[in-house]
Structure 1
Amino acid sequence: MNNKATLQINGQSYLLTFGLKFLELLNSKYTLTIDGLAVGAGLVTVWTELKMQNPVMIRDMILFATATNVNRPSEDEVEDYIFEQLEDEEKAVALFSQFGDFLTLAPGARRFIKAAEEATSQTAQPAQTEKPAKKATKKTASK
């Protein structure tokens, strides 16, 4: 499985690896508490926040995907890169689309995203309502 991509930040090329370490870091930062038990919710959170165009998710994805690299960008370099992309509307849209594509490289992410999109498309559709039955008209005898 190819779970790697490259990204240019400040003229430097960085290898992004969307493997188990990436998921582990996401799940350790983003959790849900269910019946008192902390459950990793990295994919859920990142997918949702990318849809909402939250730049914090881009930062976390870059930092977590380069965490095992000897050559990795600093947080300041990552933030400068993100701010630069957000200054232009076309670049901003492309940034979130690109990182949405990067997310699909993580193990299990494609299945999760497909299921999540199917679930949201089903809930987003208005409920089908049956046509109301015709009211019975009261017939009165004429005098």
Structure 2
Amino acid sequence: MEFKVNNKEYALKFGIKFIRQLDEVYKVDYQGLEFGMGVNLAYINLVQKNPTALVEVIKAGISHHTNTPKQSKIESAIEEYAEIHDGLSTLFTELLDEMGKSVMVKDTLKDFQEKAVKTK
């Protein structure tokens, strides 16, 4: 998947660096111990169509590039995308689909989805 930021296409990669970056953003504190829950919490936020999650997921997805755009440029690109596509629904769907195809992320998401169904 590619996403255009500041007139440049960036390939998103959902590998270890992606996971580490999301773990830095999405942490859970349990009795004084911090756990990275990046993929799971990013997934929840994308399913709930939270635009700030788009920023974090795209930023993490392009983190493997040597020259990455600043967060403000990513935010502007997402706003531009929304204007062009009359909203962000397709971007949420595409990111969720692409994350689900990643060999590094798909098992985590599948396990998380199965556990979420059991707790209903």
TM range (shorter): 0.7 to 0.9
Q: Whose relative contact order is higher, 1 or 2, with alpha carbons under 8 Å and at least 6 apart?
A: 2
Q: 1:89–1:13: structure 2 CA closer, same or farther, 3 Å change rule? A: closer
Superposed, which structure 2 residues align to 1:1-143 within 5 Å? 5-87=1-83, 91-104=87-100, 105=102, 107=104, 109-124=105-120
Equivalent residues of 1:53, 1:96 under 8 A apart: yes
CA RMSD of aligned residues (A): 2.2
Mark the structure with the bigger radius of gyration.
1
For structure 1, the residue ranges without an aligned partner over 5 or more in a row are: 125-143
TM-score by length of 2: 0.82
Equivalent residues of 1:27, 1:41 under 8 A apart: yes
SS at the partner of 2:3?
strand
Structure 1: which 4+ aligned runs deviate by more than 4 Å? 88-91
TM-score by length of 1: 0.70
Equivalent residues of 1:27, 1:40 under 8 A apart: yes
**Residues 64-83 of structure 1: CA deviation (Å, up to 9, x unaligned):** 22223123223222111211
CA separation in 1, counterparts of 2:72 and 2:97?
A: 24
Aligned residues: 119
Seq. identity, %:
24
CA separation in 1, counterparts of 2:69 and 2:99?
A: 19
**Residues 44-93 of structure 1: CA deviation (Å, up to 9, x unaligned):** 11011001111111111121222231232232221112112334675411
